[in-house]
Amino acid sequence: MNNRPFARPGQAVGLLGGSFDPAHPGHAHITREALKRFGLDRVWWLVSPGNPLKTRGPAPLADRMARARDIMQDPRVTITDIEADLGTRATADTIAALLALYPGVRFVWLMGADNLAQLHLWQDWRFIMDSVPVGVLARPGDRISARMSPAARIYRRYRISGAASHLLGHATAPAWCFVNVPMVDLSSTAIRARGGWSAPHERRGQPGADDDHQPRPGQQVG
């Protein structure tokens, strides 16, 4: 794959997945917070190709990639469509493929607290927790439900305290850390709803795919 992002063995690389339909400053904000809080060397935005089972999907991948690059301009952050090359949709499958492709790279899966609250519904969710450290960034209103979630309870003894969050990037899975961060009140769904994002062939007003803080295609079972 010619467009495979580069990472050296030993580097701590955060993975932020989603449709990014569209990317916005809130994504950039939580990325910078993750770099700072979790001791990461780099973050990759995994811009998903979309769910082939949906009749109405996100904007074309090239448009979403271009928008993401405009929004997130930081040499430590790579915008990648590697999932399209890998042919993966479920997070567990993507993580398994990346671990095989990048031996020695210390991947950390990044998610919002709302995703932790429903992680137990994702496909092969225990594989995710057992394979890579997980960094959880709190969103307003989701703190209690996330901390009381089945995943949080089952893996409670593997939780790294917020005060030690900088250790997460080089922790051995299972390990996870929950941090409270100031949030930017933006969402891709709201941007689409007010007509602030449309593909070249007039997506304005068309119902969009799931927002990036919903389960990504293939994650949720049932």
pLDDT tens per residue, range 78-125: 999 999 999 998 999 999 999 999 999 999 999 988 899 999 999 999
* pLDDT score recorded for residue 3: 73
pLDDT at 211 over 90: no
Query: Is the per-residue pLDDT at 185 higher than 70?
Result: no
C-alpha span between 101 and 7 (Å, rounded): 10
Name which of 76-80, 130-134, 199-203 the model is least confident about. 199-203
Q: Quick one: pLDDT at residue 146?
A: 84
Asked whether the CA dihedral 132, 136, 142, 147 is positive or negative, the reply is positive
Q: What is each CA distance from 170 to 101, 121, 135, 213, 216, in whole angstroms?
A: 19, 27, 12, 25, 26
Please check the confidence at residue 192 and state whether its pLDDT lies above 80.
Answer: no
Whole-number percent of the chain with pLDDT over 90: 64
Burial of 156 (0-12, 13-18, 19+ CB in 10 A): exposed
Instruction: Enter the pTM of the model.
Output: 0.84
Q: CA distances (Å), 165 to each of 2, 100, 125, 138, in order?
A: 34, 26, 22, 13
Phi and psi of 37, rounded to 5°? -80, -35
* Host H or E run for residue 43: strand 42-47
Q: Is 6 exposed, middle or buried (0-12, 13-18, 19+ CB in 10 A)?
A: exposed
Tell me the average pLDDT across 176-195: 67
- Is residue 10 classed as helix, strand or coil in its secondary structure? coil
